[in-house]
Amino acid sequence: MPSEVEQPAEETVRQLRLLATPTGAAALTRAAGLLADRTDVVTALSRLRAEFGADLGGPAWGVARQRERARPVFGADADRLLFTGDTLEQAGRPGLADRRAARLLAGGVGTAVDLGCASGTDALALARAGASVVAVDRDPVARELTAHNAAALGLPVDVRDADVVDLVAAAADGQVAGCGAAVLDPARRAHGRRITDPDGWSPPWSTVTALLDAVPRCVVKVAPGLDHDRVPGGVEAEWVSVGGSIVEALLWGRGVSATWRRATVVRSGTVHELTADTDPGRAPVAAPRGWLHEPDPAVIRSGLVATVAQQLGATLVDEQIAYLTSDAPADSPWVSSYRVTDVLPFSVKRLRALLRERGIGRVVVKKRGSAVEPEALVKQLRGKGEGRAVVVVTRVADVPTVLLCEG
């Protein structure tokens, strides 16, 4: 659909409306079938255009492809929703949006606004959680998508054209756009590139802080790399990982904040939360022991490594590096543990010799505080042996070091 080809928003809106007709639905079903059959793009497009006309063929193929990309995260709903490439790229995970909505509305507030709705993931979650929802966006394509998607899921959402900067500037009595709760997820990409400076987000950082100051029941999605110094006082910052990768970072309004920092780790569908009411500082440092523990990235980004170290009786291997070590394995969602068999100064030659001696032919390389390229090192260390190992390349007391661990 429209994202691959730059075209005026009005044209995209017109195509989306065509796709929402019964003929459009038939074209989407046919496109999904062709995609499932792995029909090549040229054949698929020519069949779709022959059967449904040029106006519907291309857009139907585009949406079918977005739905295929969306399915792993959106599940069966993906086949009822419309996305463009841009809005799918910006979309959060519906499961996490539901979790956010539940927490935001837990105080009993009945009205919520999604400030910049894109294809509506947050607006739909707020409506599912029972709120009366307003969704705003200045982009007509986003408004069309959100209105369509809400109707497709049978959820009432009032979609409006407004500028979020103006709405937040006008917030009063703890409300914005007449709602007692708000979700703000600023656009942090432009022309396919990440915008690292929060002042360049849309809406910009000044609107983020204005919302946090004016509306106590709000949550703002921010870049996971956000500098802790930016987090305003009294605002809880939360980092969320799924399957070992950071997927979102959140700032909670002061009416919802319950702690200083929170690390939320989703592993095999189970949600684990670690909190600290004050900065736990740095964990103590000591030489590597029998076990190495790799903290989850949500623990690292939220600044809670010292909290985990204390729980595990562990120490850092180096003042600057987020690897922990202790005498015992850890049965903990906050870390992955590896039994250390050898500690040696970093040298590919020595490492190769040691692996050969141990009959280890396959390794997984992990690194922190080192410039090595893991893929290149994996190839360099590949041998004939049947054994497997984890090679951790890091620094210990600032010396480049390898911790060889059981694989």
Q: What is the dihedral of CA 329, 331, 336, 341, to 10 degrees?
A: 10
For the bound state, the minimum distance from the C-beta of residue 249 to ligand SAM, rounded and expressed in Å, comes to: 13
By CB under 6 A, is residue 202 in contact with ligand SAM? yes
In the bound state with ligand SAM, the residue whose beta carbon lies nearer, of 74 and 334, is 74
Task: Draw the binding track, 7-26, toward ligand SAM (x: CB under 6 A; -: no contact).
Answer: --------------------
- How would you classify residue 330: left for phi > 0, otherwise alpha for psi between -120 and 50, otherwise beta? beta
By CB under 6 A, is residue 58 in contact with ligand SAM? no
Give SS3 for 369.
Answer: coil
By CB under 6 A, is residue 163 in contact with ligand SAM? yes
For the bound state, the minimum distance from the C-beta of residue 254 to ligand SAM, rounded and expressed in Å, comes to: 22
Count each helix (H run) and each strand (E run) in the chain, helices first: 14, 18
In the bound state with ligand SAM, the residue whose beta carbon lies nearer, of 31 and 168, is 168
Q: What is the dihedral of CA 224, 226, 232, 238, to 10 degrees?
A: 20
Q: Which of 15-23, 136-144, 288-296, 334-342 is the region at the interface with ligand SAM (rule: CB under 6 A)?
A: 136-144
For the bound state, the minimum distance from the C-beta of residue 313 to ligand SAM, rounded and expressed in Å, comes to: 40
For the bound state, the minimum distance from the C-beta of residue 103 to ligand SAM, rounded and expressed in Å, comes to: 16
**d(Cα 80, Cα 137) in Å, to the nearest integer?**
21
In the bound state with ligand SAM, the residue whose beta carbon lies nearer, of 12 and 90, is 90
In the bound state with ligand SAM, the residue whose beta carbon lies nearer, of 90 and 394, is 90
Task: Draw the binding track, 71-110, toward ligand SAM (x: CB under 6 A; -: no contact).
Answer: -------------------xxx------------------
By CB under 6 A, is residue 236 in contact with ligand SAM? no
**d(Cα 284, Cα 281) in Å, to the nearest integer?**
10
For the bound state, the minimum distance from the C-beta of residue 203 to ligand SAM, rounded and expressed in Å, comes to: 4
How many of the chain's residues bind ligand SAM (CB under 6 A)? 20
**d(Cα 59, Cα 211) in Å, to the nearest integer?**
37
For the bound state, the minimum distance from the C-beta of residue 236 to ligand SAM, rounded and expressed in Å, comes to: 19
For the bound state, the minimum distance from the C-beta of residue 42 to ligand SAM, rounded and expressed in Å, comes to: 31
In the bound state with ligand SAM, the residue whose beta carbon lies nearer, of 138 and 358, is 138
Q: Which of 116-124, 304-312, 369-377, 388-396 is the region at the interface with ligand SAM (rule: CB under 6 A)?
A: 116-124
By CB under 6 A, is residue 111 in contact with ligand SAM? no
By CB under 6 A, is residue 248 in contact with ligand SAM? no
Candidates 180, 203, 297, 333: give the one binding ligand SAM (CB under 6 A).
203
By CB under 6 A, is residue 365 in contact with ligand SAM? no
By CB under 6 A, is residue 68 in contact with ligand SAM? no
**d(Cα 32, Cα 30) in Å, to the nearest integer?**
5
By CB under 6 A, is residue 337 in contact with ligand SAM? no
Sign of CA dihedral 283, 285, 286, 289: positive
CB of 251 within 8 A of CB of 222?
A: yes
In the bound state with ligand SAM, the residue whose beta carbon lies nearer, of 137 and 318, is 137
- Residue 373 CA: distances (Å) to CA of 183, 252, 366, 368, 389: 39, 37, 10, 11, 17
Segments in 190-323 forming alpha helices (H): 205-214, 297-301, 305-312
CB of 308 within 8 A of CB of 314?
A: yes
Hey, what are 182's tokens?
């708000």
One-letter amino acid for residue 58 of the chain = G
CB burial of residue 10 (10 Å; 0-12, 13-18, 19+): exposed
For the bound state, the minimum distance from the C-beta of residue 181 to ligand SAM, rounded and expressed in Å, comes to: 14
Q: Which residues bind ligand SAM (CB under 6 A)?
A: 90-92, 116, 118-119, 121-122, 136-139, 142, 163-165, 185, 187, 202-203
